[in-house]
């Protein structure tokens, strides 16, 4: 479990409770207090995860023995700095759980077998040793095949079945790109614009300008999906194929939808910016922006959002963005 933050601890914790051997690789400051166990709050009940095995370096990870799969749960912004350990683990199948698009392709340049996953449940700390898990579930896909066409004993299906038996909704998708681009729309809704404006969505969506920018950004992202001939797919707990209809709905509906979808927690990019942490936006914004440029699609809202978050340029609230 490489990148054992809230998502890695949740996914690995479920496997640990099911009797699987899981090694958590993350920051000592986070994992050391949890070595004797932690709790998951989901489905309106508490679940205890017992003692966990932790490592803090590649050498320690390799010394643990052979692995069936490596779950990539750290933020995508760290990918370029981790080429050496990725190469060392390359013979082991990777399951890429990172948000954004282009991550699977990055790992496939080095790793022999790459699988794709996406989690739609919000996971955050309720206390120092208790993770609260929101509604949603897990999506899984193969990079070069339809998982539905594989045998029941395929390792990724077996892993998915384990999570499913724990009460987590699991869906298998024929196209990892459709799955990841559908999740990207969820990650972009009420997230990067909140960081740019330093306001939660329910605040800025009350203004005509804030609502216009959010709606324009969704429209631009949908146009990038369409130009690639990708189909949107519904994700566990989220009817993504319905999102284009959102463009014609009033701001009151948007405020309600975005508030419920995040389970009451602030958008991740807003929290990171408030805390002074680097923003994980390369695979959320730059890759779609690059595709838009290659295809000749005008995306002024996306362009200005990227320039503001990366270069500090002010966002133009003029009519050109709000049309």
- 265 by Cβ neighbours in 10 Å (0-12 / 13-18 / 19+) ranks as middle
* Statement to judge: residues 27 and 123 lie in one domain: yes
- 264 by Cβ neighbours in 10 Å (0-12 / 13-18 / 19+) ranks as exposed
Contacts 24+ apart (CB under 8 A), 292-301: 292/220, 292/223, 292/224, 292/227, 295/224, 295/227, 297/220, 297/223, 297/224, 297/227, 299/220, 299/223, 299/224, 300/216, 300/220, 301/213, 301/216, 301/217, 301/220
- Four-CA torsion 48, 49, 50, 54, nearest 10 degrees: -160
* Statement to judge: residues 113 and 240 lie in one domain: no
**CA nearest to 179, candidates 125, 120, 135:** 120
Report yes or no on 265 lying in a domain.
yes
Segment 229-233 shows an average pLDDT of 96
The CATH number for 122's domain is 3.40.50.720
Which residue do the tokens 């002074």 mark? 276
User: What pLDDT sits at residue 202?
Assistant: 87
In angstroms, the Cα distances linking 49 to 11, 211, 218, 301 are: 11, 42, 39, 44
Instruction: Grade residue 323 by pLDDT with cuts at 50, 70 and 90.
Output: very low
What's the rounded Cα separation, in Å, for the pair 60 and 6?
21
The CATH number for 316's domain is 1.10.1040.10
Give the residue, 314 or 213, on which the prediction is more confident. 213
User: What pLDDT sits at residue 264?
Assistant: 60
* Statement to judge: residues 12 and 133 lie in one domain: yes
What's the rounded Cα separation, in Å, for the pair 257 and 238?
11
Structural domains counted in the chain: 2
pLDDT per position as a tens digit, 153-200: 899 999 999 999 999 999 999 999 999 999 999 999 999 999 999 999
Q: Which residue range(s) make up the domain with 311?
A: 180-322
Domain boundary among 112, 144, 174: 174
**pLDDT surpassing 80 at residue 314:** no
The Cβ of residue 209 has, within 10 Å, a number of other Cβ atoms equal to 14
User: What pLDDT sits at residue 322?
Assistant: 47
The Cβ of residue 43 has, within 10 Å, a number of other Cβ atoms equal to 12
* Statement to judge: residues 57 and 128 lie in one domain: yes
DSSP-based three-state secondary structure for 202: helix
R_g over Cα of the chain: 20
- 305: Cβ–Cβ under 8 A, 6 or more apart, which residues? 192, 193, 196, 217, 285, 315
User: What pLDDT sits at residue 153?
Assistant: 83
* Statement to judge: residues 217 and 102 lie in one domain: no
* Statement to judge: residues 24 and 54 lie in one domain: yes
Q: How high is the mean pLDDT of the chain?
A: 91
Segment 48-76 shows an average pLDDT of 95
Question: For 41, phi and psi rounded to 5 degrees?
Answer: -105, 105
* Statement to judge: residues 232 and 260 lie in one domain: yes
* Statement to judge: residues 197 and 160 lie in one domain: no
* Statement to judge: residues 167 and 188 lie in one domain: no
What's the rounded Cα separation, in Å, for the pair 136 and 309?
29
Report yes or no on 1 lying in a domain.
no
pLDDT per position as a tens digit, 243-265: 999 999 998 888 888 866 555 67
* Statement to judge: residues 167 and 186 lie in one domain: no
Which residue do the tokens 């009350």 mark? 206
Domain boundary among 120, 149, 174: 174
The answer to whether 308 and 315 have CB atoms below 8 angstroms apart is yes
* Statement to judge: residues 51 and 109 lie in one domain: yes
pLDDT per position as a tens digit, 5-40: 999 999 999 999 999 999 999 999 999 999 999 999
The answer to whether 38 and 131 have CB atoms below 8 angstroms apart is yes
Domain boundary among 174, 206, 234: 174
User: What pLDDT sits at residue 261?
Assistant: 54
Q: Strand 70-72 relative to strand 23-25: parallel, antiparallel, unpaired?
A: unpaired
User: What pLDDT sits at residue 150?
Assistant: 81
* Statement to judge: residues 66 and 116 lie in one domain: yes
Report yes or no on 309 lying in a domain.
yes
């Amino acid at each position: 479990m490489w990148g054992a933050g809230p998502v890695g601890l949740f996914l690995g914790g479920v496997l640990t409770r099911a009797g699987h051997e899981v090694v958590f690789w993350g920051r000592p400051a986070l994992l050391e207090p949890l070595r004797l166990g932690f709790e998951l709050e989901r489905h309106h009940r508490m679940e205890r995860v017992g003692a966990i095995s932790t490592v803090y370096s590649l050498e320690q990870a390799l010394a643990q023995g052979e692995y069936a799969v490596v779950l990539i749960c750290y933020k995508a912004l760290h990918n370029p700095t981790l080429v050496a350990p990725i190469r060392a683990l390359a013979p082991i199948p990777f399951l890429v759980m990172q948000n954004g698009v282009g991550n699977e392709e990055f790992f496939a340049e080095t790793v022999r077998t790459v699988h794709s996953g996406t989690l739609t449940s919000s996971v955050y700390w309720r206390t120092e040793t208790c993770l609260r898990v929101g509604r949603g579930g897990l999506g899984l896909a193969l990079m070069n095949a339809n998982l539905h066409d594989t045998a029941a004993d395929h390792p990724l299906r077996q892993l998915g079945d384990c999570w499913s038996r724990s009460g987590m909704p699991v869906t298998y998708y024929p196209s990892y790109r459709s799955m990841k681009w559908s999740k990207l729309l969820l990650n972009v809704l009420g997230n990067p614009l909140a960081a740019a404006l330093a306001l939660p969505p329910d605040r800025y969506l009350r203004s005509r300008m804030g609502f216009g920018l959010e709606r324009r950004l969704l429209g631009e992202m949908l146009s990038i999906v369409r130009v690639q001939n990708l189909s949107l797919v519904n994700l566990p707990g989220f009817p993504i194929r319905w999102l284009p209809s959102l463009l014609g709905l009033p701001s009151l509906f948007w405020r309600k939808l975005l508030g419920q979808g995040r389970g009451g927690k602030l958008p991740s990019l807003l929290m990171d910016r408030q805390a002074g942490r680097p923003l994980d936006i390369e695979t959320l914004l730059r890759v779609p922006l690059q595709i838009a440029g290659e295809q000749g699609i005008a995306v002024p809202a996306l362009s200005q959002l990227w320039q503001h978050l990366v270069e500090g340029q002010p966002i133009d609230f003029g009519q050109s963005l709000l049309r």
